Amino acid sequence: MEHPDSSVTPDGNELEIIEFYIDEALPDGSAYRGYFGMNVAKVLEIIRKPPVTGVPGKHHRAALGTFNLRRRVLPLVDLGLWLGKNNTNSVNNKVIVSEFSSVVTAFIVSGVTRIHRMTWNQVEPPGKYLQAFSHDSITGVIRIDERIVFLLDMEQVISSMDPSLKLSTHLDQAGSTDGSGFHILVADDSPSIRSTISRCLEQARFSVTKTTCGREAWDQLKAWEQQAAREKVPLNRFVHLVVSDIEMPEMDGHTLTRKIKDDAVLRRIPVILFSSLISDVVREKGRKAGADDQISKPDLPRLTECAHALIQKSLGADGQEA
């Protein structure tokens, strides 16, 4: 595996992805190689395909069973099968051991190429046709040399293996906050997570506008800002708070937060950053960007209370009615 490109200067908008491929046998007998990627920060190690000793999973045929890795039993998922491909098996197959939302899972792929270092504005959002074709499993598209690399929504893959891990299982734990009269903008590139966060807020009677990336969220905020100026009304007639994912194509959550807080009008809007896992390093980046709060997946039940409290605080500071 090659080393990452060091030509990109590290900043808050940077990401590193590990590129891998899946070889597929087509009906006409030819072969096709598809390229995919996932965040390097979520990869623990890469190993050869181990012997599977556990029984196959009940929820998906791609769940091949389990294996033992240094006294730890891990589930093994055939990523090609999960994607619906007639993938070819080989002794040279690699296994990517990764951790998403505190769940360690191993994925079989045909091979691993290299690590790429880039910025989020180099990642394009997938089109609607691609999203539908991939069952909403692709969150970004990267053009590298003469090939296209698809970023996969690995948390969706994992939750499909075990429904108890779905973010929606946390909804019943949400509090009894009443968000009536308040409007929240949600930005998240994962359709499943975007939908779940929105449902959580809507159950608490917040009204919600959903966007698929930081760029789309920023454009919507600027449109509301301009409309408020034309109509000579407070900005909170249109939006009271932003909930944003961190890792998104075109514009990530940290960049979106900085742009909001650097804008003389939009800076009044509280921003909550939401991610599957917020480490100390990620939390510090969020703080420097100006986020008013940061919530990880296990903390979803407190999202509505946090949103309500921040909105009330911002209205009190502005001395404006909702």
**pLDDT for residue 7:** 39
pTM strictly above 0.85:
no
CATH 3.40.50.2300 in the chain: give the residue spans. 166-318
**pLDDT for residue 10:** 38
3-state secondary structure of 258: helix
Q: How far apart are CA 185 and CA 183, in angstroms?
A: 7
> Among candidates 241, 233, 125, which has minimal Cα distance to 182?
241
Domain 14-161: which CATH number of 2.40.50.180, 2.130.10.10, 3.30.430.20, 1.10.490.20: 2.40.50.180
> Among candidates 315, 6, 295, which has minimal Cα distance to 167?
295
**pLDDT for residue 8:** 39
**pLDDT for residue 102:** 73
pLDDT tens per residue across span 173-210: 555 688 899 999 999 988 888 888 999 999 999 999 99
Q: Are strands 147-152 and 31-39 parallel, antiparallel or unpaired?
A: parallel
Let me know if 230 is exposed, middle or buried by CB neighbors in 10 A (0-12, 13-18, 19+): exposed
**pLDDT for residue 132:** 66
**pLDDT for residue 198:** 93
**pLDDT for residue 167:** 54
CATH 2.40.50.180 in the chain: give the residue spans. 14-161
**pLDDT for residue 4:** 46
Q: Which CATH superfamily is domain 166-318 in?
A: Response regulator (3.40.50.2300)
Which stretches of the chain drop beneath a pLDDT of 50?
Answer: 2-11, 169, 318-319, 321-322
Tokens of 283: 């939390």
**pLDDT for residue 19:** 97
**pLDDT for residue 235:** 96
